[in-house]
């Protein structure tokens, strides 16, 4: 008998019981004070006999039943991980995701925008996507073509047209493109579709009547620091302050609609120390613990000269810096992985059920179809407009998918990532961002860890803290 190779122990934090998660069974168990050091030591040293000697038969049996202790060999566990990854991947592929890009241009010039090279070419006549070619803003006839293609792709999986479409850009909600945005939402709604939008938030006031249940139900905006800092990073093409416009619009959305507003704050070494000041500002707006608001930190990634990708600060260091500030409210998270971790762990804790595991990192590896004004269908958010994520085309004669490209993007899962198969976090992480893996390693079929292991262990601790604090749960623990 040995401890599972897929054991994940939460980070230590004073006053919070440590949690043992098994990355095969999905069992999430709070540990009692006597068992905590025993398990920590066993996982560090591999001294299983010593650990077993310190626990009762009941504790041993409980850990065995939950998969933390196992009779399987390392290879047998790995084979199971591959099977589970494959199954999870297939299940996700039966629920494809859809995005529509009304506009590939943007009314902001953010200093770190990863779409800038494509957008710089929009004024040229020599580029594949340009205003001169009239393929930057979606044309009226393309709306029905995209929605028909989405309906067919959903039908192939036995799904009705009801479901979510994410509006993405460029800037999807630029007020100059109201006609096409209104057409997308109105025709989509008639088919039972609801929407989310990833927007800079500058022109939300022009779309308030579309926002809320049954329309655009979720909005994601970015605020990168107090006004004096934000305005220098997220720059509006006109003269006005982007900060003032976004803040006013977030308040309008909260006052007049029931939409969820996700506020993302990109942090790097230049602004991370100002996150506390920003949170104080949010408190003044009444956004802390607001039931419609989610606030989280996010890394800024940059391309390197040799085609790779980097960030000036590690995700886990962001997590460590923001974590004390995030204590200010239940709706502040240190990173997007923490938001996702809580959304998968909390239901498991509340229901006393295993956490749902996954075989892939994001929908770009299971079935994500992004319909853009250039008539292309892309798989990945990061590389809309780029050949590397183009998986097909759509138009008058319907959608045509490139079999090789779709297989390359949608075939990536833990079952095809040997490095990840040996990682305890395999079915919790899913292999990391495929596009960044390709930038770094010239293939989608490489791992991209991005500090996931450290970030997830601390997210596990904070999720348990929230579960115990806010829901007044009785602590049911496994102990020695």
Interface with ligand SF4 by CB under 6 A: which residues? 362, 364, 380-382, 419-420, 423, 425-426, 429, 431-436, 447-449, 452-453
Which residues lie below 8 Å from residue 1, measured CB to CB, with a gap of 6+?
48, 52, 64, 69, 70, 71
| Least Cβ distance, residue 362 to ligand SF4 (angstroms) | 3
Task: Report how far apart, in Å, the C-alpha atoms of 209 and of each of 165, 197, 252, 253, 293 are.
Answer: 18, 14, 11, 10, 19
Of 326, 270, 340, 327, give the one whose Cα is nearest residue 300.
Answer: 270
CB of 322 to ligand SF4, least distance (A): 20
For residue 90, CA distances in Å to 262, 367, 390, 411 come to: 29, 10, 22, 10
Minimum distance of ligand SF4 from residue 278's CB (angstroms): 24
Q: How far is the CB of 424 from ligand SF4 (least distance, A)?
A: 8
For 36, the 3-state DSSP assignment is: helix
Whichever of 251 and 453 has its CB closer to ligand SF4, that residue is 453
Shortest Cβ 262–ligand SF4 spacing (Å) = 15
* Tokens at 403, concatenated: 């079999």
Q: At which residue do the structure tokens 């933390």 appear?
A: 68
Q: How far is the CB of 361 from ligand SF4 (least distance, A)?
A: 6
Residue 404, CA distances (Å) to 20, 74, 310, 444 in order: 40, 34, 28, 13
* Location of structure tokens 């190779």: 5
Nearer Cβ to ligand SF4 (366/393)? 366
Closer residue to ligand SF4, CB minimum distance, 222 or 249: 222
Least distance CB 466 / ligand SF4 (angstroms): 23
The number of residues making up the chain comes to 480
CA–CA separation, 469 vs 16, rounded Å?
A: 10
Which lies closer to ligand SF4 via its Cβ, residue 385 or residue 432?
Answer: 432
Residue 319 Cβ vs ligand SF4, minimum distance, rounded to whole Å: 15
**Residue 223 or 433 having the CB closest to ligand SF4:** 433
Spell out the alpha helix ranges (H) of 66-195.
74-93, 116-120, 140-156, 178-190
| Closest separation in Å from C-beta 300 to ligand SF4 | 14
Least distance between ligand SF4 and beta carbon 451 (Å): 8
Judged on CB neighbours under 10 Å (0-12, 13-18, 19+), 51 is: buried
Residues whose CB falls within 8 Å of the CB of residue 411, separated by 6 or more in sequence, listed in order? 365
Q: Give whichever of 282 and 439 is closer to ligand SF4, judged by the CB atom.
A: 439
Burial of 173 (0-12, 13-18, 19+ CB in 10 A): buried
Cβ proximity to ligand SF4: between 297 and 431 the closer is: 431
Residue whose C-alpha is closest to residue 165's, from 157, 154, 156: 154
CA 374 to chain centre: 26
- For ligand SF4, the closer of residues 215 and 392 by Cβ is 392
> Using the 8-state DSSP alphabet, how is residue 233 labeled?
H
The residue (of 81 and 180) whose beta carbon lies closer to ligand SF4 is 81
- Give the nearer residue to ligand SF4 in terms of CB position, either 230 or 412: 412
């Amino acid at each position: 008998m040995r401890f599972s190779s897929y054991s994940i122990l939460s980070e230590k934090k004073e006053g919070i019981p440590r949690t043992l998660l098994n990355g095969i069974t999905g069992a999430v168990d709070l540990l009692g004070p006597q068992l905590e050091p025993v398990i920590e030591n066993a996982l560090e040293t591999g001294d299983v006999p010593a650990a077993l000697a310190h626990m009762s038969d009941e504790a041993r049996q409980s850990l065995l039943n939950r998969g933390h202790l196992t009779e399987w060999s390392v290879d047998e566990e790995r084979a199971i991980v591959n099977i589970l990854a494959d199954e999870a991947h297939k299940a996700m592929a039966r629920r494809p995701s859809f995005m529509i890009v009304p506009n590939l241009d943007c009314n902001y010039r953010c200093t770190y925008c990863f779409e800038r090279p494509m957008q710089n070419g929009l004024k040229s006549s020599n580029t594949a996507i340009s205003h001169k070619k009239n393929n930057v803003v979606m044309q009226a006839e393309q709306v029905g073509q995209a929605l028909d293609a989405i309906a067919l792709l959903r039908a192939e999986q036995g799904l009705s047209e009801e479901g979510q479409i994410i509006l993405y850009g460029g800037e999807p909600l630029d007020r100059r493109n109201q006609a096409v945005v209104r057409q997308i939402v109105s025709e989509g709604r008639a088919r039972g579709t609801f929407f989310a939008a990833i927007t800079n938030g500058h022109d939300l006031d022009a779309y308030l009547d579309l926002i809320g249940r049954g329309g655009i139900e979720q909005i994601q905006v970015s605020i990168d620091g107090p006004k004096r800092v934000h305005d220098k990073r997220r720059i509006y093409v006109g003269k006005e302050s982007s900060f003032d416009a976004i803040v006013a619009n977030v308040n309008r959305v909260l006052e007049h609609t029931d939409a969820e507003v996700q506020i993302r704050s990109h942090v790097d070494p230049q602004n991370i120390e100002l996150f506390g000041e920003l949170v104080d500002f949010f408190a003044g707006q009444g956004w802390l613990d607001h039931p419609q608001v989610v606030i989280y930190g996010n890394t800024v990634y940059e391309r390197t000269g040799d085609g790779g990708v980097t960030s000036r600060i590690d995700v886990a260091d962001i997590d460590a810096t923001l974590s004390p500030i995030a204590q200010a409210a239940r709706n502040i998270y240190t990173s997007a992985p923490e938001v996702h971790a809580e959304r998968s762990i909390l239901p498991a804790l509340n229901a006393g059920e295993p956490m749902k595991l996954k075989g892939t990192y994001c929908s770009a590896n299971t079935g994500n179809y992004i319909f853009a004004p250039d008539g292309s269908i892309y798989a990945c958010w990061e590389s809309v407009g780029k050949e590397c994520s183009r998986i097909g085309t759509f138009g008058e004669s319907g959608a045509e998918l490139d079999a090789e490209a779709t297989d390359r993007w949608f075939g990536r899962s833990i079952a095809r990532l040997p490095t990840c198969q040996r990682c305890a976090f395999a079915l919790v992480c899913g292999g990391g961002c495929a596009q960044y893996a390709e930038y770094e390693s010239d293939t989608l079929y490489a791992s991209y860890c991005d500090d996931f292991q450290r970030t997830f262990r601390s997210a596990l601790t904070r999720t348990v803290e929230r579960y115990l604090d806010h829901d007044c749960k009785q602590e049911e623990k496994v102990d020695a």
